[in-house]
Structure 1
Amino acid sequence: MASILRRITAEDRREAADALDDLKATLAYAGTQLPSPGIDWQCASVTGIVLIDLGAAPTSVILQIVDLLRLGVRAQRARAEQQPWHPELGSAVTLNRAGGTPLPARVVGTSEKVITVRLDSWLIT
């Protein structure tokens, strides 16, 4: 029975080992580490569920990890809040030539990546 379960959980065990390696490498890059992380191989052989044991850690290490998580969450929220600017069809926009000369224009088409404008004046000097 154990060998069948072992075959069934082989991919899960590989994923757990990779995830633990990634966690340890990321924490090391940030200048901290958990003192005794590991994988509970026995639980996997009995239940089929692979658990990663983060071990006991002093408060100072947990606070470092909490700070890292907060920084990551803030960065992720900041990226989500940065919405690309898409003008409305027909709206007036001002383009600037080299040297700062304004060029009035109208938006005639938009897509996710391209904004098409028509210059209001063809007299460009």
Structure 2
Amino acid sequence: MASMLRRITAEDRREAADALDDLKATLAYAGTQLPSPGIDWQCASVTGIVLIDLGAAPTSVVVQIVDVLRAGVRARREQADQQPWYPAVGATVTLHAPGGVPLAAKVVGANEKLITVRLDSWLTP
């Protein structure tokens, strides 16, 4: 039974090992580390569920990890706020012809790379 479960959980065990390596490398890059992380191989061989044990850590280490996580969340939010803006389909926009003449236009297509408009009027000076 155990050998069959080992075959079934082989990919999960590899993913767990990779995830733990990534976590340790990321924390090391941020200047901190968990004192005793590991993978609970015994649980995987009995239940089929691979658990990553983050171990016991002193408060100072947990505070450092929380700081790293907060910085990452903050960076993601700031990045999301800086996404390029483009008008929605159906919106009315004003374009400017040479000489500053305003042109009313309706957005008929928009995505992250291209905005298609239909001029509602052409004003000539």
Call closer, same or farther: CA 1:44–1:85 in 2, change over 3 Å. same
The answer to whether the aligner puts 1:45 opposite 2:45 as a matched pair is yes
User: Where in structure 2 are the equivalents of 1:7-86 lying within 5 Å?
Assistant: 7-82=7-82, 84-86=85-87
CA contact (8 A) 1:39 1:50 kept: yes
The CA RMSD over aligned residues, in Å, is 2.7
TM-score by length of 2: 0.76
CA contact (8 A) 1:16 1:51 kept: yes
Q: Which runs of 5+ in 2 are unaligned?
A: none
* Residue 115 of structure 1: how far off its partner (Å): 2.0
* Residue 82 of structure 1: how far off its partner (Å): 5.0
CA contact (8 A) 2:95 2:105 kept: no
Distance, in Å, in 1 between the alignment partners of 2:18 and 2:43 is: 18
Structure 1, 71-80 or 82-91: larger mean CA deviation = 82-91
Q: What is the aligned length? A: 120
CA contact (8 A) 2:88 2:110 kept: no
Call closer, same or farther: CA 1:87–1:44 in 2, change over 3 Å. closer
Identical amino acids, percent of aligned pairs? 66
TM-score by length of 1: 0.76
What residue is the counterpart of 2:105 in the other structure?
107
CA contact (8 A) 1:32 1:61 kept: yes
CA contact (8 A) 1:38 1:55 kept: yes
Deviations 1:59-87 (A, max 9, x none): 11111111121222223334444562306
Distance, in Å, in 2 between the alignment partners of 1:50 and 1:25 is: 20
Q: Which runs of 5+ in 1 are unaligned?
A: none
Structure 1, 45-54 or 67-76: larger mean CA deviation = 67-76
